[in-house]
Amino acid sequence: MAALPALFGLLMAVVVTGQNLDITPREAVRRVGDDLTVLCKVPYPIDACRMTVGTTSYRLIPNNQEEEIVYAGQGLQHGECGAHIKHIKEEWNGNISCTLPPQTGQIEVIGTMRLLVAKAPANPQLISPPQPAFREGDGFMAQCIVPNGRPAAKITWYLDEVQLLAGIHQPVITSEPGSDLKTISQNVSRTLAPEDNGQKLVCRAEHEALDGPREAARQLVVHYPPKRLESGPITIFGLKLGGEGRLNVTIRANPAPTTEWTVGDLVLIPPRSNEDGSITALEPLHLGGGFYNVTLVLARVAKEDVERTYYLRVTNDLGREEFAVRLSTMDEPAARKSKTSYLIIDVYGVELETGAIVGIVIAVLILLIAIILVVFAKATGRWFFAGRSHRTDIPDGADSEAPLPPHDDVKGSENPSHDHGEYISNGDTKHPEKKPDTAV
Ligand SMILES: *[C@@H]1O[C@H](CO)[C@@H](O)[C@H](O)[C@H]1NC(C)=O
Ligand SMILES: *[C@@H]1O[C@H](CO)[C@@H](O)[C@H](O)[C@H]1NC(C)=O
Ligand SMILES: *[C@@H]1O[C@H](CO)[C@@H](O)[C@H](O)[C@H]1NC(C)=O
Ligand SMILES: *[C@@H]1O[C@H](CO)[C@@H](O)[C@H](O)[C@H]1NC(C)=O
């Protein structure tokens, strides 16, 4: 039971220590040689001000501004006890406390703040899988460690010049027992894409004690098989009979692909021409970013050139892709040139773009609503918007259900024709049979 008064005494001491004393800042990070001002305030006049920095206690007198650590504040009569430390020393890392006389009683009032004297960390280390190259879709994980900073360094990640925000894990901060130096480590994970090839993954460390950031980096190499950029057969438009014809196919691959053209019985591996020089296969031209133009040149486009199919095979270590290329002397259709609209429907040769389609759909909807309104009004002898006073003698159920059964029949016959999607049936069941007539 003797513990109780002891505990009470301890509580009192804690309360007195924090009593009405305001210290700012509570924590500061400074480099060696920087200055720092710490201010303690109490809401009553004081007659003394002591500040403990490192192991030394300084008695601060407002008039004396000559020393390394001098009084700061608006005066003791305002309850202010501050210290201006002109040049921070390494050994002052730790607590700074002020000691003020109490308003009443014997126990002095103490306030404590923490000064971190910044210490530069060691260089960042980037730890990543040792293999020189990865494949598209591979999961990639790297870890960056910045050891022994005070406080811990800050890590940011970049892919070339662009800051990475996705796939960044929580940083982990550790320190050796008994040391206030902090080691920070952070992981980044990413699913590799073709765009990552050739990019530099950078771990950047920043710290109060460093004049500039330090970096550790590695280059990413991402391999992938040849890819086509558009699906389906390729048609080269706008060729002129008798003129030179260039068959361009743009593909993407890494590492660089080899190509092979097949024209009838002729197989051409660039750079090569056929015997009379009328067909030349060019080396794939690297456009950057893994994109290549693969080109076959026809010296003079003849009629039979337009009629046949050219086969292109593109191969690298990871796979191959094959293309069928056809020629056309027509101009490229307008719809393929302008990509302003993604939905284009060709109705009897007239192209309707998204806007027009939406307009037509809305117009049809409005028309349908109007028809329904009129039918409803006719059948019931009242208008929707004519108020409820008209709903008097006719029972609701008998009234509104009467016209419905024929409607349902119409719907039933409408459904199969919906599959054709080309016209709106008005219940004419002959419509689906009509279609073959108009198509032939
Ligand atoms: C510094 O002050 C904090 C409380 O403010 C205390 O917990 C810590 O022990 C002190 N450190 C030293 C070295 O006196
Ligand atoms: C970070 O990566 C290292 C090595 O790959 C691993 O040991 C560690 O557990 C990872 N830490 C986190 C937080 O993911
Ligand atoms: C590459 O081919 C595309 C057509 O596939 C063409 O538009 C482009 O001009 C070509 N670029 C070069 C540099 O040959
Ligand atoms: C094919 O590429 C060449 C440049 O190599 C370019 O001059 C030509 O316009 C391209 N042809 C087509 C049809 O894209």
The predicted pLDDT at position 356 comes to 64
338, 320 contact by CB (below 8 A): no
From 55, 95, 114, 179, mutation site for ligand 1 pocket: most ligand atoms within 8 A of C-beta: 95
Ligand 3 pocket by C-beta < 6 Å: which residues? 248, 250, 285, 287, 293
Question: In 87-213, at which residue ranges do the beta strands (DSSP E only) sit?
Answer: 94-100, 109-117, 125-127, 134-135, 139-149, 154-159, 162-163, 172-174, 182-191, 200-206
Q: Which atom of ligand 4 is nearest to the CA of 248?
A: 1
Pair 172, 184: CB distance under 8 Å: yes
pTM, full prediction: 0.65
Which residues, judged by CB distance below 6 Å to any ligand atom, belong to the binding site of ligand 4? Answer: 236, 246, 248, 293, 295
- Ligand 3 centroid–CA 287 distance in Å is 9
Cis previous bond, 432, omega within 30: no
Q: Identify the nearest ligand to the CA of 297 by its number.
A: 4
Distance 143 CA to ligand 2 centre (A): 7
Compute the distance from residue 187 Cα to the ligand 2 centre, in Å. 6
Q: Which ligand 3 atom lies nearest to the CA of residue 249?
A: 5
Cα separation, 286 vs 316, in Å, equals 14
Number of helices and strands in the chain (H, E) = 7, 31
From atom 4 of ligand 2, which residue's Cα is the shortest distance away?
143
pLDDT at 379: 73
Compute, in angstroms, the gap from residue 176 CA to the centroid of ligand 1: 18
Atom index in ligand 2 nearest the CA of residue 141 equals 5
Structure tokens at 181: 């130096």
List, in order of start, the domains of the chain with CATH numbers.
Answer: 18-117 (2.60.40.10), 125-220 (2.60.40.10), 226-332 (2.60.40.10), 354-387+395-439 (no CATH)
Name which residue sits closest to atom 9 of ligand 2, judged by CA.
187
Contact residues of ligand 1, CB 6 A cut-off:
94-95, 112
Q: Among the bound ligands, name the one nearest to the CA of residue 294.
A: 3
Residues having CB closer than 6 A to ligand 2 are 141, 143, 169, 172, 187
Q: Ligand 4: which of 236, 240, 244, 246 to mutate, judged by most atoms within 8 Å of the beta carbon?
A: 246
| pLDDT of 376 | 66
CA-closest residue to ligand 3 atom 7: 248
Q: What are phi and psi of 90, to 5 degrees?
A: -50, -45
Measured CA to CA, the distance from residue 163 to residue 59 in angstroms comes to 50
- Atom 1 (ligand 4) nearest CA: 248
Q: Please report the atom of ligand 3 found closest to the CA of residue 293.
A: 1
Give the atom of ligand 2 at the shortest distance from the alpha carbon of 187: 1
CA distance 199 to 131: 16
Considering only CA atoms, which residue is closest to atom 12 of ligand 2? 187
Mean pLDDT by 10 residues, the chain (440 residues): 49 52 95 96 95 95 92 95 96 95 90 96 97 95 97 96 95 94 97 95 97 96 94 88 92 95 92 88 94 94 90 95 91 62 49 60 74 71 54 46 44 43 42 42
> What's the 214 CA to ligand 2 centre distance in angstroms?
22
Quote the ligand 1 centre to 71 CA distance (angstroms).
23
Q: Which amino acid is at 13?
A: A
Starting from the CA of residue 52, give the closest ligand.
1
